[in-house]
Structure 1
Amino acid sequence: MTYPVKDTLVWCEIPVTDMKEGCAFYSAVFDSEMEIEEGGPNPVSFFPKQSENDVAGHIYPGKPASNGEGITAHLHAPDTLEATVGRAQKAGAAIIGPIIDMPFGRFQYAIDPFGNSLGIFSMSK
Protein backbone atom coordinates (compact mmCIF):
# COMPACT_ATOMS: atom_id res chain seq x y z
CA MET A 1 0.00 0.00 0.00
CA THR A 2 1.28 3.46 -0.89
CA TYR A 3 1.19 5.93 1.98
CA PRO A 4 -1.29 8.70 1.03
CA VAL A 5 0.70 11.75 2.17
CA LYS A 6 4.12 13.14 1.19
CA ASP A 7 5.47 13.80 4.70
CA THR A 8 4.57 11.97 7.91
CA LEU A 9 5.85 14.84 10.06
CA VAL A 10 3.85 18.00 9.43
CA TRP A 11 5.09 20.34 12.15
CA CYS A 12 7.58 20.45 15.02
CA GLU A 13 7.28 22.54 18.19
CA ILE A 14 10.37 22.87 20.39
CA PRO A 15 9.98 24.32 23.90
CA VAL A 16 12.50 26.84 25.19
CA THR A 17 12.71 28.44 28.62
CA ASP A 18 13.65 31.87 27.21
CA MET A 19 12.34 33.04 23.84
CA LYS A 20 15.07 35.65 23.22
CA GLU A 21 17.79 33.10 23.98
CA GLY A 22 15.95 30.50 21.88
CA CYS A 23 15.77 32.86 18.91
CA ALA A 24 19.46 33.70 19.29
CA PHE A 25 20.45 30.01 19.42
CA TYR A 26 18.33 28.81 16.49
CA SER A 27 19.16 31.93 14.43
CA ALA A 28 22.84 31.01 14.85
CA VAL A 29 22.24 27.34 13.98
CA PHE A 30 20.22 28.10 10.84
CA ASP A 31 22.27 31.18 9.94
CA SER A 32 18.91 32.93 9.46
CA GLU A 33 17.23 35.52 11.66
CA MET A 34 14.32 34.22 13.73
CA GLU A 35 11.96 36.73 15.31
CA ILE A 36 9.39 36.44 18.07
CA GLU A 37 5.81 36.72 16.81
CA GLU A 38 3.16 37.71 19.33
CA GLY A 39 0.00 37.40 17.17
CA GLY A 40 -1.39 34.14 18.57
CA PRO A 41 -2.27 32.83 22.00
CA ASN A 42 1.45 32.34 22.80
CA PRO A 43 4.61 33.91 21.42
CA VAL A 44 6.38 31.75 18.83
CA SER A 45 9.33 32.00 16.49
CA PHE A 46 9.13 30.08 13.22
CA PHE A 47 11.98 28.06 11.72
CA PRO A 48 13.08 29.25 8.28
CA LYS A 49 11.61 27.51 5.23
CA GLN A 50 11.57 28.12 1.50
CA SER A 51 7.81 28.12 0.89
CA GLU A 52 4.53 28.11 2.79
CA ASN A 53 4.00 24.42 1.91
CA ASP A 54 7.28 23.21 3.42
CA VAL A 55 7.35 21.25 6.67
CA ALA A 56 8.94 23.28 9.47
CA GLY A 57 8.06 24.26 13.01
CA HIS A 58 8.65 26.80 15.72
CA ILE A 59 9.99 27.39 19.19
CA TYR A 60 7.66 28.43 21.98
CA PRO A 61 7.90 29.22 25.70
CA GLY A 62 7.70 25.90 27.49
CA LYS A 63 9.45 23.32 29.61
CA PRO A 64 11.79 21.02 27.67
CA ALA A 65 12.25 17.40 28.72
CA SER A 66 15.26 17.15 31.00
CA ASN A 67 18.69 16.12 29.73
CA GLY A 68 17.57 15.36 26.18
CA GLU A 69 15.05 12.74 27.33
CA GLY A 70 12.22 13.96 25.09
CA ILE A 71 11.80 13.24 21.40
CA THR A 72 14.59 14.09 18.98
CA ALA A 73 13.74 16.66 16.33
CA HIS A 74 15.93 16.24 13.25
CA LEU A 75 16.56 19.62 11.64
CA HIS A 76 18.00 20.10 8.17
CA ALA A 77 21.40 21.82 7.97
CA PRO A 78 21.14 24.88 5.69
CA ASP A 79 24.72 24.38 4.46
CA THR A 80 27.31 21.74 5.34
CA LEU A 81 26.70 19.52 8.33
CA GLU A 82 30.05 20.51 9.81
CA ALA A 83 29.33 24.25 9.50
CA THR A 84 25.87 23.92 11.05
CA VAL A 85 27.12 21.71 13.90
CA GLY A 86 29.95 24.20 14.50
CA ARG A 87 27.48 27.09 14.79
CA ALA A 88 25.27 25.04 17.13
CA GLN A 89 28.22 24.21 19.37
CA LYS A 90 29.46 27.81 19.39
CA ALA A 91 25.93 28.95 20.33
CA GLY A 92 25.81 26.58 23.31
CA ALA A 93 24.74 23.13 22.09
CA ALA A 94 26.37 20.00 23.48
CA ILE A 95 27.44 17.76 20.60
CA ILE A 96 26.73 14.07 21.27
CA GLY A 97 28.87 11.40 19.59
CA PRO A 98 30.32 11.33 16.09
CA ILE A 99 28.67 12.16 12.77
CA ILE A 100 26.51 9.23 11.68
CA ASP A 101 26.51 8.25 8.00
CA MET A 102 23.35 6.77 6.48
CA PRO A 103 22.63 5.78 2.85
CA PHE A 104 20.44 8.89 2.45
CA GLY A 105 22.54 11.43 4.38
CA ARG A 106 24.49 12.23 7.54
CA PHE A 107 23.53 13.60 10.94
CA GLN A 108 24.93 14.58 14.31
CA TYR A 109 23.12 14.44 17.64
CA ALA A 110 23.14 17.51 19.87
CA ILE A 111 21.41 18.88 22.96
CA ASP A 112 20.32 22.51 22.64
CA PRO A 113 20.99 24.93 25.54
CA PHE A 114 17.46 24.23 26.85
CA GLY A 115 17.86 20.43 27.06
CA ASN A 116 16.08 19.47 23.82
CA SER A 117 17.48 16.54 21.82
CA LEU A 118 18.30 17.47 18.22
CA GLY A 119 19.58 15.68 15.18
CA ILE A 120 21.27 18.07 12.75
CA PHE A 121 20.77 16.43 9.36
CA SER A 122 22.26 16.75 5.90
CA MET A 123 20.68 14.80 3.02
CA SER A 124 22.79 13.11 0.37
CA LYS A 125 22.74 14.92 -2.94
Structure 2
Amino acid sequence: MDNPLRWFEIPTTDLDRATAFYEAAFATTLRRESCGGNPMAIFPYTCPHPGGALVAMPQLAPRDNGTLIYLDGGDDLNAVLARIPAAGGTVVMAKTDLGKGIGHIGLFIDSEGNRVGVYSPN
Protein backbone atom coordinates (compact mmCIF):
# COMPACT_ATOMS: atom_id res chain seq x y z
CA MET A 1 0.00 0.00 0.00
CA ASP A 2 1.66 3.21 -1.15
CA ASN A 3 -1.01 5.55 0.26
CA PRO A 4 -3.91 4.47 2.47
CA LEU A 5 -6.13 7.40 1.48
CA ARG A 6 -8.18 6.88 -1.67
CA TRP A 7 -11.35 8.91 -1.14
CA PHE A 8 -12.95 11.03 1.58
CA GLU A 9 -16.41 12.43 2.14
CA ILE A 10 -17.30 15.44 4.25
CA PRO A 11 -20.98 15.34 5.29
CA THR A 12 -23.24 18.34 4.80
CA THR A 13 -26.85 19.18 5.50
CA ASP A 14 -26.82 22.07 2.98
CA LEU A 15 -24.69 21.20 -0.05
CA ASP A 16 -25.04 24.64 -1.64
CA ARG A 17 -23.87 26.38 1.53
CA ALA A 18 -20.99 23.93 2.08
CA THR A 19 -19.91 24.18 -1.57
CA ALA A 20 -19.87 27.98 -1.37
CA PHE A 21 -17.83 27.76 1.87
CA TYR A 22 -15.13 25.45 0.48
CA GLU A 23 -14.93 27.26 -2.86
CA ALA A 24 -14.40 30.58 -1.05
CA ALA A 25 -12.02 29.23 1.61
CA PHE A 26 -9.83 27.29 -0.82
CA ALA A 27 -10.24 29.63 -3.83
CA THR A 28 -11.28 26.72 -6.06
CA THR A 29 -14.28 25.28 -7.88
CA LEU A 30 -15.95 22.02 -6.87
CA ARG A 31 -17.63 19.81 -9.48
CA ARG A 32 -21.27 18.94 -8.78
CA GLU A 33 -22.35 15.33 -9.39
CA SER A 34 -24.70 12.72 -8.02
CA CYS A 35 -23.76 9.20 -6.95
CA GLY A 36 -26.44 6.69 -6.07
CA GLY A 37 -28.97 9.51 -6.00
CA ASN A 38 -26.93 11.47 -3.47
CA PRO A 39 -25.74 14.94 -4.49
CA MET A 40 -22.08 15.75 -4.01
CA ALA A 41 -19.51 18.43 -4.76
CA ILE A 42 -16.13 16.97 -5.70
CA PHE A 43 -12.83 18.65 -4.84
CA PRO A 44 -10.39 19.03 -7.76
CA TYR A 45 -7.90 16.16 -8.01
CA THR A 46 -5.91 14.25 -10.60
CA CYS A 47 -5.47 10.50 -10.72
CA PRO A 48 -3.78 8.61 -9.16
CA HIS A 49 -3.97 11.06 -6.24
CA PRO A 50 -6.81 10.62 -3.73
CA GLY A 51 -9.94 12.66 -4.11
CA GLY A 52 -12.96 13.53 -2.07
CA ALA A 53 -16.24 15.34 -1.93
CA LEU A 54 -18.85 17.11 0.10
CA VAL A 55 -21.85 14.79 0.33
CA ALA A 56 -25.48 15.26 1.24
CA MET A 57 -26.71 11.91 2.53
CA PRO A 58 -29.39 11.51 5.20
CA GLN A 59 -27.36 8.80 6.99
CA LEU A 60 -24.34 11.11 7.45
CA ALA A 61 -24.22 14.07 9.80
CA PRO A 62 -21.61 16.80 10.21
CA ARG A 63 -19.65 16.69 13.47
CA ASP A 64 -16.74 18.39 15.15
CA ASN A 65 -15.30 15.38 16.97
CA GLY A 66 -15.16 12.58 14.42
CA THR A 67 -12.51 11.48 11.98
CA LEU A 68 -10.14 14.32 11.15
CA ILE A 69 -8.91 14.84 7.61
CA TYR A 70 -6.31 17.36 6.51
CA LEU A 71 -6.81 19.14 3.21
CA ASP A 72 -3.98 20.65 1.19
CA GLY A 73 -3.33 24.14 2.51
CA GLY A 74 -1.08 25.08 -0.40
CA ASP A 75 2.38 26.54 0.02
CA ASP A 76 1.35 28.54 3.09
CA LEU A 77 -1.89 27.61 4.81
CA ASN A 78 -2.20 31.10 6.32
CA ALA A 79 -3.94 32.13 3.08
CA VAL A 80 -6.63 29.45 3.51
CA LEU A 81 -7.03 30.11 7.24
CA ALA A 82 -7.45 33.84 6.56
CA ARG A 83 -10.42 33.13 4.25
CA ILE A 84 -12.23 30.77 6.66
CA PRO A 85 -14.14 33.38 8.74
CA ALA A 86 -15.40 35.34 5.72
CA ALA A 87 -16.55 32.07 4.13
CA GLY A 88 -18.66 31.23 7.21
CA GLY A 89 -16.33 29.04 9.28
CA THR A 90 -14.23 29.39 12.43
CA VAL A 91 -10.49 28.85 12.79
CA VAL A 92 -9.95 26.76 15.93
CA MET A 93 -6.18 26.27 15.61
CA ALA A 94 -3.96 28.79 13.88
CA LYS A 95 -1.01 27.74 11.74
CA THR A 96 1.09 25.49 13.97
CA ASP A 97 4.62 24.28 13.25
CA LEU A 98 4.95 20.50 13.56
CA GLY A 99 8.72 20.80 14.04
CA LYS A 100 11.60 18.85 12.49
CA GLY A 101 10.78 20.25 9.03
CA ILE A 102 7.54 18.23 8.83
CA GLY A 103 5.37 21.24 7.97
CA HIS A 104 2.43 23.11 9.44
CA ILE A 105 -1.20 22.38 10.29
CA GLY A 106 -4.29 24.35 11.24
CA LEU A 107 -7.86 23.42 12.15
CA PHE A 108 -11.22 24.97 11.37
CA ILE A 109 -14.93 24.32 11.80
CA ASP A 110 -16.66 24.54 8.41
CA SER A 111 -20.08 26.01 7.60
CA GLU A 112 -21.70 22.67 8.46
CA GLY A 113 -20.03 22.10 11.84
CA ASN A 114 -17.31 19.67 10.68
CA ARG A 115 -13.82 19.96 12.17
CA VAL A 116 -11.33 19.87 9.28
CA GLY A 117 -7.56 20.29 9.14
CA VAL A 118 -5.25 21.92 6.63
CA TYR A 119 -1.61 21.02 6.04
CA SER A 120 1.25 22.77 4.26
CA PRO A 121 4.94 21.98 4.03
CA ASN A 122 5.84 25.64 4.73
- Which TM-score tier does this pair reach, normalised by the shorter chain? 0.7 to 0.9
Aligned mates of 2:97, 2:35 — CA distance in 1? 40
- Identify which of 53, 74, 85 aligns with 1:58: 53
Does residue 12 (structure 1) correspond to residue 8 (structure 2)? The answer is yes
Aligned mates of 1:36, 1:114 — CA distance in 2? 18
Does residue 43 (structure 1) correspond to residue 39 (structure 2)? The answer is yes
Q: TM-score, normalised by structure 2?
A: 0.86
Identity of matched residues, %: 31
Q: TM-score, normalised by structure 1?
A: 0.84
Q: What's the C-alpha RMSD, in Å, of the aligned pairs?
A: 1.6
C-alpha deviation, 1:89, in angstroms? 2.2
- Identify which of 104, 107, 123 aligns with 2:105: 107
1:122 aligned partner: 120
Runs of 4+ deviating beyond 6 Å? none
Aligned mates of 1:111, 1:28 — CA distance in 2? 14
Name structure 1 gaps, 5 residues minimum. none
- 1:86-114 CA distance string (max 9 Å, x none): 11222011111332111311011111111
Aligned mates of 1:121, 1:44 — CA distance in 2? 23
Give the length in aligned residue pairs.
117
Name structure 2 gaps, 5 residues minimum. none
Give yes or no for contact 1:43–1:61 (8 Å, CA) kept in 2: yes
